[in-house]
Structure 1
Amino acid sequence: MIASLVKPLFVDRYVLYSNIGIALLLGACMDYLHRLWQPSRNAWIAAVAVLAALVPTSLSLRTPQSRTDDVTAIGAAVREEGRPGDGLLHLPGQHRIWTAANPEDTRLLTDLALAQDPVSSNTLAGVGFPA
């Protein structure tokens, strides 16, 4: 994770859960130091150091700028270029969710690969035709 601050090696939000492990490890270290030193100025310095290590990373991962794949851009492009009755083909079918952020973007278009809509199929994304 430290090397990824210089050169990203993964998409941050997929390993966000690992920050919990770091927080637990730092908490265990804090507890150890607290027991070792008793409540003192050093314990407060350690607490500030822990917060300084965790908070900036956590906050930066929650900004729109941390997202490199803007799925709302797909819906915006379809909204601008599509006309009522135009066909829309999602390949592969599981990427249909990318246009689900704002259903108004594709409401007037015909989904060519959708066999059953979400309501009639009782699913979140509907059922697509087989390849």
Structure 2
Amino acid sequence: MTTAKRPADLYLRFLQLAEALRGLPSLPPLDPLEERILAIIARAGQERQRLSVRDMMAKKDLGAPATLHSRLTSMREKGWIMLSDTEDPRRKQIELTQAALLHFDKLSKCMVQAAQQI
């Protein structure tokens, strides 16, 4: 007896493949809040929107500004993000590092692989 494929099977297979990436030597792992922050930064970059440290710290749904500041510092130290200068020397632009972009490339490959296997 064969089991019917559910739409969720694709997503669950993707999660399984993405989890396997965590075991590969690359960047240090992120905690759940850092993963949310990374996704926000990636989406802003994809949409060609500027995202400064001040903009990020103003996002109340992510927690207190001090918490966000410590997470951004941690993410810089781990190699996920970098800060670049803007026309205002007091403001820093948040951007993904090349290593973070490669991580998203790997996740994309996981998604394609999952779609091909289901």
Bigger RCO of structures 1 and 2 (CA < 8 A, at least 6 apart): 2
Shorter-chain TM-score: what band? Answer: under 0.3
TM-score by length of 2: 0.27
Structure (1 or 2) with the larger CA radius of gyration: 1
TM-score by length of 1: 0.25
